[in-house]
Structure 1
C-alpha cells in the first residue's frame, strides 16, 4: 500500500481526499496546507496527519507519492519540491497558467525523473473511454468530426474567475485534451469566440461565460467545442464522433435514469446531474487507479506532463483567437 501526501485542503482536495482514503492500494498519510487549520479539517474528515511543513511532509519516509490539489499558481512550487524529493506526482490540471512556468515544470521533471500524472480526469470517464476505443478501432471509419458540449449549471464565484487564467484555460482545456486524445492528433489551427451572456461580473473581468471553439487537425478532421458557464437544466456533458461509416455519442447522466411516459411527461423527469462532482465521480477513482498502477507496475501514465503542455498551448491559442477574431496556427 502506498502512502500519499495530499497537498491542499480546498475544493479539489475534498474531491481526492475521500477517494484516496477509500482506494485499496493507497493510504492517506499526510494532508499539507500552509494554513494548518485547513489541513486539520481535511485530515479529520479523511485521515492522515495534518501538516503545515512542506519539507517535513515530503521527507516523511511513509509518504510514497503526492497528490497536488492546490491552486494552479502553486503547482510549479510543489512539482519542483516533490520531484527533488523523488516522490511520484499526481497533479490537478493545468500545471500552470503560462507556458513559461509550464516549461519550468517540465524541466524539473526532466532533472528529477519521477512518475508524473496530470489530472485530466475526463479521460478516465467510462463513457469517454468507450467512445475513444470505438473511434480508435475503426467502428465509424475515418474520423471526420468531433463535437463536445460542456455546460455548467451556474457561473463560479468571481474570485475563482479572476484566478482561473480565463475561460479557455480553465474550462475549455478539458475538452481540448479530451478531443485531442480521442482523435490522436494535435490541432494545427484553432478558431474561437467568446461572449458574456449570463454573469456581467465575469464580463467586467474581461472574460467570457460562453464560448465556441473549432480545432482543425492535420488529418483534415475537425472538432467543435460548445462551452457555457450556465445551464438551466444541470451539467450538460455530451460527446459525438462522426465518421465516414457511422456516428458515436455519449449521453448525459441523470439522477433518475428511467425514461418515463405518462399523462404528464414523455421523457425523464429529473434534471441532469448537478456538477462535475456527481457526473465524473467514477473518473477520479479510475484516475487514481492508473496513478497507483504507474508507480507499482512501472508504466507510464496516459495523461502526462507533455499532454498538459500541449493542451495549455492550444487553450492559450484559443484565448488569442477569441481576443483577435482571427484563427491561430500552431507550430509543430
Structure 2
C-alpha cells in the first residue's frame, strides 16, 4: 500500500488537531469527516482538502476507499463505533478511554480481534520523546531495579462544568493518561491502588460529582511503588513530570518550557514557566502517534498502544475511583482478556 485513506469521526478540538497532523504525512489522504453538526465545518474542511462532510459516521464505514477511521467522538460512543468499524474492516484509532465500562471495552476488543483489524488507543504521552527516553533508560537497566515511580500531572486550568459532567471523572478522564504511563514506563502491571481526592480548585466541580485534586499510590507486580498527583489547576502552567528512582540512580523528565534560558541576578534566578497548554506541550507526541498509526497501515508495523493497553488503564482508573469512595486499597487482576 502506497497511500492510506482516512475518515475522521468527530471534529471537535482533538479531531481537528489530528487532521492537521495527519496532513503533514505525504502518504495520507483524509477523504471524509463526520460530526453531529457540520454546517460550521464547511470552510475548514475545504481549506484542508476534505471532500466529504456528513452527520452520519456510518457513511465513512460504508466507503470502500477509506482504509481506517479516527474515533474522536464522545467516549460514550467509542465502543459501538469500534465494533461497527471493525466489522466494516476498517483499522481504528480511538481516543482514550475506549469506554467507561470494562465489559464494553472487552466486547469491542473481541470484535477487533475477530475481524482481524488493528486498533490503536490515543495515549499520546507514550510518544513524547522525554517520557520515552525515561522508559528506554529503565528498560535498559540504567537505573537498575526500579523502586519508586513519581508522576506529576497538573492542568493549567479546569475544564468547563459541562465537560466535567460527561468526562467520566478525574481518574478516568485525566489520570488515566498517568495510569497508562505508569504501566508503560515500569513495564509492569499495577496490582493495587490507593486513592485520595478532594475539591480544592472549584466547588462547582464537587457539585458536579467529581474531584479536582488527587493523589494515588500504586503497587506494581514487580514490587515497585508509584505515586501520581493530579490537579485541575496549576497557575504557573501545564505541569508534566516523570521520575523513576532505582537501585543505580534516577531518571527524570522535567517540564518543557518555551526556552531553556535562565537569568540569574542579585535578586534571584528566573526561567520560563512550563508550556501552558497540552496542545503545545505534546505537539511532537501527537504527530508521532498518528505517524506511527499510518506506518502500521502502510508498512504493517506494530501498534505501540493496543486495545489491551486501553483496557488495563481503565481497570486502574476504576480501582482508583473505588478506593477513593471506600477509603480502602483495591487490588486489580490484570489478565489480558484480549490479545491484539
Q: TM-score, normalised by structure 2?
A: 0.94
Matched residue, 2:333: 331
Q: Is residue 140–residue 246 contact of structure 1 (8 Å, CA) maintained in 2? A: yes
Match of 1:63 in 2: 66
**How far apart, CA to CA, are the structure 2 residues paired with 1:81 and 1:40?**
26
Given that 2:102 and 2:315 are in contact with CA atoms closer than 8 Å, whether structure 1 keeps it comes out as yes
Partner of 1:282: 284
Q: In the alignment, which of 119, 124, 128 is matched to residue 116 of structure 1?
A: 119
- Paired residues of 1:39 and 1:52 also in contact (CA < 8 A): no
Q: Quote the offset at 1:34 in angstroms.
A: 3.0
Give the match's secondary structure for 2:280. helix
The yes-or-no answer on 1:6 pairing with 2:8 is yes
Partner of 1:156: 159
* Residue 258 (str. 1) matches residue 258 (str. 2): no
Aligned to 1:30: 32
SS in structure 2 at match of 1:168: helix
Contact 1:33 1:39 in 2 (8 A): no
Deviation of 1:76 after TM superposition, in Å, equals 1.6
Residues 238-257 of structure 1 mapped to structure 2, 5 A cutoff: 238-257=241-260
- Contact 2:4–2:297 (CA under 8 A) maintained in structure 1: no
Normalized against structure 1, the TM-score is what? 0.96
Q: Write out per-residue CA displacement over residues 155-188 of structure 1, whole angstroms, 9 at most, x where no aligned residue.
A: 1000100101110000111001011111111111
Distance in 1 between residues matched to 2:286 and 2:49, nearest whole Å: 18
Tell me: CA distance 1:192–1:3, structure 2 relative to 1, closer, same or farther (3 Å). same
Q: Distance in 1 between the 2:320 and 2:109 partners?
A: 22
Contact 1:68 1:92 in 2 (8 A): yes
Q: Cα deviation per residue 1:128-171 (whole Å; 9 max; x = unaligned)?
A: 11110000000011110110000000110001001011100001
- The alignment status of 1:85 with 2:88, answered yes or no, reads yes
SS where residue 114 of structure 1 aligns? coil
8 Å contact from structure 2 (residues 128, 284) kept in 1: yes
Deviation at 1:50, TM superposition (A): 1.3
Q: Distance in 1 between matches of 2:65 and 2:113?
A: 25
Return the alpha-carbon distance in structure 1 between the equivalents of residues 267 and 258 of structure 2. 19
The residue number in structure 2 matching 1:223 is 226
Cα deviation for residue 296 of structure 1 reads: 1.7
Provide structure 2 residue ranges, at least 5 long, that are not aligned to the other structure. 335-340
- What SS class does the counterpart of residue 147 from structure 2 fall into? strand
| 1:201-224, Cα deviation, whole Å (9 max, x unpaired) | 101122110000011012210111
Task: Work out whether 1:75 is the aligned partner of 2:74.
Answer: no
SS in 2 for 1:156: coil
Match of 2:265, SS state, is: coil
| SS of residue matched to 1:283 | helix
Q: Post-superposition shift, 1:104?
A: 2.2
1:175 corresponds to which of 166, 173, 178: 178
RMSD: 1.4
Gaps of 5+ in 1: none
